[in-house]
Amino acid sequence: MYRKIKKRAFEIIQCADENDPESKRFDLFIVALIFINLVIAVVETFTVPYVLQQVITNIENISVIIFSVEYVLRVWTSDCLYEGLSPLQSRIRYIFSFMACIDLLAILPFYIPLLFPIDLRVLRALRIIRMFRLFKIGRYTDAFITIGKVFRSKASQLFSSVFVVGLLMIISAVLMYNVENTAQPDKFDNAFSGIWWSISTLTTVGYGDIYPVTVQGKLLSIIIAMLGIGLIAVPTGIITSGFIEVLNEEKQQIADVVDEKCYCPYCGHRIDE
Amino acid sequence: MYRKIKKRAFEIIQCADENDPESKRFDLFIVALIFINLVIAVVETFTVPYVLQQVITNIENISVIIFSVEYVLRVWTSDCLYEGLSPLQSRIRYIFSFMACIDLLAILPFYIPLLFPIDLRVLRALRIIRMFRLFKIGRYTDAFITIGKVFRSKASQLFSSVFVVGLLMIISAVLMYNVENTAQPDKFDNAFSGIWWSISTLTTVGYGDIYPVTVQGKLLSIIIAMLGIGLIAVPTGIITSGFIEVLNEEKQQIADVVDEKCYCPYCGHRIDE
Amino acid sequence: MYRKIKKRAFEIIQCADENDPESKRFDLFIVALIFINLVIAVVETFTVPYVLQQVITNIENISVIIFSVEYVLRVWTSDCLYEGLSPLQSRIRYIFSFMACIDLLAILPFYIPLLFPIDLRVLRALRIIRMFRLFKIGRYTDAFITIGKVFRSKASQLFSSVFVVGLLMIISAVLMYNVENTAQPDKFDNAFSGIWWSISTLTTVGYGDIYPVTVQGKLLSIIIAMLGIGLIAVPTGIITSGFIEVLNEEKQQIADVVDEKCYCPYCGHRIDE
Amino acid sequence: MYRKIKKRAFEIIQCADENDPESKRFDLFIVALIFINLVIAVVETFTVPYVLQQVITNIENISVIIFSVEYVLRVWTSDCLYEGLSPLQSRIRYIFSFMACIDLLAILPFYIPLLFPIDLRVLRALRIIRMFRLFKIGRYTDAFITIGKVFRSKASQLFSSVFVVGLLMIISAVLMYNVENTAQPDKFDNAFSGIWWSISTLTTVGYGDIYPVTVQGKLLSIIIAMLGIGLIAVPTGIITSGFIEVLNEEKQQIADVVDEKCYCPYCGHRIDE
């Protein structure tokens, strides 16, 4: 009986089976609650009347309770998740999985102030991470799978280009600090200001709060801005080639199915003649 | 007789048949009138002499009358548009179609002040939407068809990436509001300011009217700006793979035509041997 | 004799034959002179000592004389350029060709002030157009041919996307003028300010001299900035698919050459067996 | 004996053989030291306590000694590097190679002040170039090889587009200087300001420290900003087509291996029948 309830709870909470109406309803309810929490996070940054503030606080409290219960249930039923592991090993592995960590981070800021009397302000923002659970729905749509596949297949190339960009960023930051520090000691006060400038330039954002004024600084900035074009072009090229690769693979799979019909696709002769 | 006139009106107004000179002349006349209205909309933002102002008002009034007559005719003849629907169903369906809504929005701002005495200023701008009707001409050129085909075939992937960007935008907006609110209460006064900043950064526009000043805020901004590169790279990759897919399909169609000549392109043997 | 000299002059000036040393030397001389004129155009914007100013003026005068003689020779020999046209027709056609117009524009600003005593300042800048003649050298390198081929083959698609962008620019400019005019009458004073803003946003430059301050204006700006991503993604997709098309064509040509060897590339059987 | 030690030193320092544990340990040590030096270069831009400053100076001195010894060893053993050259020729060739020049530039700023009593500030920044040695590790990963292959195979096309951009930059800079000089003599004071503006616009950075204010200047800026989109689109297209080319080549190599199994992949007939 206990095992049966647990099995059912596992199916409803973890599986997200399309044909299981209770599981589907549960997922929709949780996502709706996350969405409401997101709207609240945006709304409470505005000055709202006292009554609405009360309603918001109540919804937040109820949400945290629901999310806490959900988290406990997920941990409890996680021994059905991994095959060939003991219940304890399964639970430890689940607790340290990426999605479980996010789930914990989403409810933790509510409990910490009960233990330590510290400021809630910055911690409250962490709650937004609940939103990432929305991706779980997307996990089952083809488009998300394709985009994910592209990033995974090109991970090493993307990481390499990010590495080169990171190196370029730090080198240009220290160079710019040395060049501009005497001319603008208040703006380029340390290497972090240089990094802030180099990111602003490499990504072509260019807020305009920090920029070189000396001729040498401007020459360096011109070189970095030109290389910033490469920063956009190289990952775009990598990602595009990934999309085309995935496209061709899908076509190949369709072609392979046709091939199984045992006819040469060009002559129309049977191969087993 | 009545049916015959209606049929002819339908052919002239709705069909845009290349071989029907009257239909073509009508389309060119409407597009020219839309173009004149666009020029007027730009010109009347400048301070113009009184005489020109009079001319502009007259052209605008005449245009609205012509567009109104055209709209009524389109609704009247729309029962020929959809097969297997009753005249009333056809008309309701047409009225709620995208292009008909734009046509209505283009003429509505003129009539509303006759009923309610409210300010015309903002409503007048809606009239520009008439311009979108120009796309109807493009609908028949190959380039527009190709671009449209690409967007349609990649709609789900583009929507997915827009969804991820939207989520990223809201999360970073609320986080940035929490981080920067105490340092710059006048700039980051609510989550909307955060959204304005995150869009400005993600799209790499960077006006420079709002930017983080604290170290934590700058670190968050660096992460968002780097992810903004992905915002450009992923849709570019999707759209490019779409263009290449369309290109290959067109080539395949040509190849299929060649195949019909009944020779294997590799061996040179007749397939019907 | 006259015809012979003219033929030779034509070969030297117009043909740019790789195997003709005199023609090659002439081209290098003209390009070097253009390059010197470009350096001078940059240098004379700085405050230079009187002696250098004298040298610059002399070089400029000599250059204009050489360019003028070259232009006259090009027009004189242009009757050898087009087959099946009378000498007069050839010359008229050449004078109105794109490169000849640029050549004329490059020398004209020098002669006009001799006729009309007007300010040289702005006209002087036109002289830079001489630089475009440098592309003539590139005309013979493969890379320029490939880039040119890509733009030609995708011209209609690129034109379509530029047309959509132009429409979007004007519509957003007039809308933004209507939305922001009352809040910032000094910044958004007419539709041209709106166009300046919409280009600044669509191209993601974002100087920060003009931006919306009202909530409606910011919402409109968010939409335009998001569409600006498409402005980058669509032409990139078009141009990339063009590069891949050209790549495949070149491979096909190599494959076709292999095919002419009359062996099936897959079986190794002779086709004429 | 002397040759044997030299051979071994060469193997450890130059070869970077995966299966040689001493060579691998040496490489890791040098890269770790470069990384520590990079961290120091960033840290010493902040105001640090006296004790830490002492530690930093010591680490820097030790690093320079190690790097100097390494440089001398590399030059000493470089006669094993190039086949068919005399030891002296090999060494001269090695000293003028790109990586050796960077190695020298990384240690030179430390010795120069011992000879000439000049300011270290700007020279110190050059030391960062040591970081580039980190790429040597990457040299053996597939991703870096792929990215490098793409840039090499498309070098001529990329150079052509950079050439066109450079030309566009200079022409627009001089034109803008002539247009805006009278309106903003303090901002557009010479052609270099124009170049600073044109790079800022072409790369879509747009700091906002310099922008046109006249109508003609804004019109010119609109054209340059639109062409700036091409500046992003063309290299992206070139690089993407390069990635796809490399992808296809790799697939072809796999396909060629399959072909060696001696069956026609289309008919299923043995080729050696």
Chain A, residues 99-158, CB within 8 A of chain D, namely 156-157
Is D39 within the bounds of a domain?
Answer: yes
Q: Which of A50-59, C108-117, D74-83 has the highest mean pLDDT?
A: A50-59
Instruction: Please report which confidence band the pLDDT of residue B218 belongs to, taking 50, 70 and 90 as the band edges.
Output: very high
Q: Mean pLDDT, to the nearest integer, of B203-209?
A: 88
Range of A219's domain?
A: 155-261
Chain B, residues 224-263, CB within 8 A of chain D, namely 236, 240
- pLDDT for C227: 84
Contact C138 D179 (CB under 8 A): no
Interface test with D, best of C38, C42, C122 (most D CBs within 10 A): C42
- Those chains having 3 or more beta-carbon pairs within 8 angstroms of chain C are A, B, D
Chains B–D, number of C-beta pairs less than 8 Å apart: 10
Query: What does the pLDDT look like over B60-87, one tens digit per residue?
Result: 889 888 988 988 988 888 877 777 788 8
Query: What does the pLDDT look like over D6-26, one tens digit per residue?
Result: 888 888 877 656 677 887 788
Instruction: Please report which confidence band the pLDDT of residue D108 belongs to, taking 50, 70 and 90 as the band edges.
Output: confident
Interface test with C, best of B204, B243, B263 (most C CBs within 10 A): B243
Q: Which of D157, D179, D228 sits opposite C147 (nearest CB)?
A: D157
DSSP bridge pairs for C263: C270
Q: Is C84 on the interface with A (CB under 8 A)?
A: no
CATH number of the domain where residue C71 is located = 1.20.120.350
Instruction: Please report which confidence band the pLDDT of residue B260 belongs to, taking 50, 70 and 90 as the band edges.
Output: low
Instruction: Please report which confidence band the pLDDT of residue D263 belongs to, taking 50, 70 and 90 as the band edges.
Output: very low
DSSP bridge pairs for B263: B270
Is C103 within the bounds of a domain?
Answer: yes
Residue D95 vs residue D15, higher pLDDT? D95
Across B187-191, B219-223, B265-269, least confident range = B265-269
Please give the tally of structural domains in chain B.
2
Interface test with C, best of A46, A205, A238, A240 (most C CBs within 10 A): A240
Tokens 């340290």 identify what position? A96
In this structure, the answer to whether residues C120 and C19 fall within a common structural domain is yes
Instruction: Please report which confidence band the pLDDT of residue B135 belongs to, taking 50, 70 and 90 as the band edges.
Output: low
Cβ contacts of C222 on chain B, cutoff 8 Å: 195-196, 199
Mean confidence (pLDDT) of chain B: 78
CA distance B143 to chain A (A): 21
Query: What does the pLDDT look like over D184-202, one tens digit per residue?
Result: 988 898 889 999 999 999 9
In this structure, the answer to whether residues C125 and C167 fall within a common structural domain is no
Helix, coil or strand: residue A139? coil
Residue B153 vs residue A251, higher pLDDT? B153
Dihedrals φ, ψ of C97, to 5°? -75, 160
Contact B207 D204 (CB under 8 A): no
In this structure, the answer to whether residues D136 and D159 fall within a common structural domain is no
Q: DSSP label at D190?
A: S
CA distance A146 to chain B (A): 8
CA distance C237 to chain D (A): 7
Q: Which of D192, D229, D266 sits opposite C232 (nearest CB)?
A: D229
In this structure, the answer to whether residues B133 and B172 fall within a common structural domain is no
Q: Is A268 on the interface with D (CB under 8 A)?
A: no
Interface test with B, best of C159, C203, C236 (most B CBs within 10 A): C236
In this structure, the answer to whether residues A18 and A135 fall within a common structural domain is yes
Is D9 within the bounds of a domain?
Answer: yes
In this structure, the answer to whether residues D12 and D97 fall within a common structural domain is yes
Q: Are B210 and B204 in contact, with CB atoms under 8 Å apart?
A: no
Q: Are C202 and C165 in contact, with CB atoms under 8 Å apart?
A: yes
**DSSP per-residue letters across D192-260:** HHHHHHHHHHHTT---SSS---SHHHHHHHHHHHHHHHHHHHHHHHHHHHHHHHHHHHHHHHHHHHHHT
Query: What does the pLDDT look like over D114-166, one tens digit per residue?
Result: 665 544 455 555 656 655 555 555 444 677 778 888 888 888 888 878 877 88
Mean confidence (pLDDT) of chain D: 78
Cβ contacts of C206 on chain A, cutoff 8 Å: 206
Q: Which of C142, C207, C266 sits opposite D156 (nearest CB)?
A: C142
- pLDDT for D221: 92
Is B271 within the bounds of a domain?
Answer: no
In this structure, the answer to whether residues A6 and A131 fall within a common structural domain is yes
Q: Mean pLDDT, to the nearest integer, of A82-111?
A: 79
DSSP bridge pairs for B270: B263
DSSP bridge pairs for C270: C263
- pLDDT for C196: 93
From A94, A117, A140, give the residue that closes a domain. A140
In this structure, the answer to whether residues C135 and C175 fall within a common structural domain is no
- pLDDT for A139: 46
Contact A204 C204 (CB under 8 A): yes
Q: Which residue of B has its CA nearest to C158?
A: B143
**Residues of chain C under the 50 pLDDT cut:** 118, 120, 138-140, 261-273
Amino acid (1-letter code) at residue C236: T
Q: Which of D43, D141, D206 sits opposite A206 (nearest CB)?
A: D206
CATH number of the domain where residue C252 is located = 1.10.287.70
Q: Is A222 on the interface with D (CB under 8 A)?
A: yes
In this structure, the answer to whether residues B59 and B134 fall within a common structural domain is yes
Share of chain A above pLDDT 70, in %: 80
Interface test with D, best of C192, C239, C241, C246 (most D CBs within 10 A): C239
Q: Which of C124, C203, C209 sits opposite D225 (nearest CB)?
A: C203
From A140, A165, A180, give the residue that closes a domain. A140
Helix, coil or strand: residue A126? helix
Is C148 within the bounds of a domain?
Answer: no
Q: Using CA atoms, how far apart are residues C132 and A113, in angstroms rounded to an integer? A: 69
Estimate the crossing angle of helix C215-259 against helix B215-259, to 10 degrees. 40
ipTM confidence: 0.80
CA distance A271 to chain C (A): 14
Contact B208 D207 (CB under 8 A): yes
- pLDDT for B116: 57
CA distance A217 to chain C (A): 19
- pLDDT for B197: 93
- pLDDT for B154: 85
In this structure, the answer to whether residues B206 and B136 fall within a common structural domain is no
Q: Using CA atoms, how far apart are residues A24 and A9, in angstroms rounded to an integer? A: 13
- pLDDT for D196: 93
Q: Mean pLDDT, to the nearest integer, of B101-119?
A: 68
- pTM for the complete prediction? 0.83
Contact C194 B231 (CB under 8 A): no
Q: Mean pLDDT, to the nearest integer, of D210-218?
A: 90
Is C114 within the bounds of a domain?
Answer: yes
Secondary structure of D69-122 in HEC code, one letter for each residue: HHHHHHHHHHHHCCCCCCHHHHHHHHHCCHHHHHHHHHHHHHHHHHHCCCCCHH
Q: Which residue of A has its CA nearest to B244?
A: A244
Burial status of residue D80 (CB atoms within 10 A of its CB: 0-12, 13-18, 19 or more): middle
Interface test with B, best of C158, C162, C174 (most B CBs within 10 A): C174
Q: Is B203 on the interface with D (CB under 8 A)?
A: no
Is C145 within the bounds of a domain?
Answer: no
- pLDDT for B27: 77
From C115, C140, C165, give the residue that closes a domain. C140
Q: Which residue of A has its CA nearest to C209?
A: A208
In this structure, the answer to whether residues A78 and A159 fall within a common structural domain is no
Q: DSSP label at A12?
A: I
Query: What does the pLDDT look like over D58-70, one tens digit per residue?
Result: 988 898 889 889 8
Q: Which two tokens stand for residue A122?
A: 């910055």
Q: Which two tokens stand for residue B145?
A: 């068809």
Distances (CA, A) of C140 to B244, C11, C133, C248: 28, 16, 13, 21
- Those chains having 3 or more beta-carbon pairs within 8 angstroms of chain D are A, B, C
Cβ contacts of A247 on chain B, cutoff 8 Å: 241, 244-245
Is A148 within the bounds of a domain?
Answer: no
Cβ contacts of C182 on chain B, cutoff 8 Å: 121
- pLDDT for B99: 72
Across A219-228, B73-82, B126-135, D85-94, least confident range = B126-135
In this structure, the answer to whether residues D83 and D206 fall within a common structural domain is no
- pLDDT for B263: 46
Q: Which of B42, B144, B200 sits opposite C191 (nearest CB)?
A: B42
- pLDDT for A125: 59
Distances (CA, A) of B46 to B54, B122, B236, C177, D215: 14, 16, 38, 11, 14
- pLDDT for B117: 54
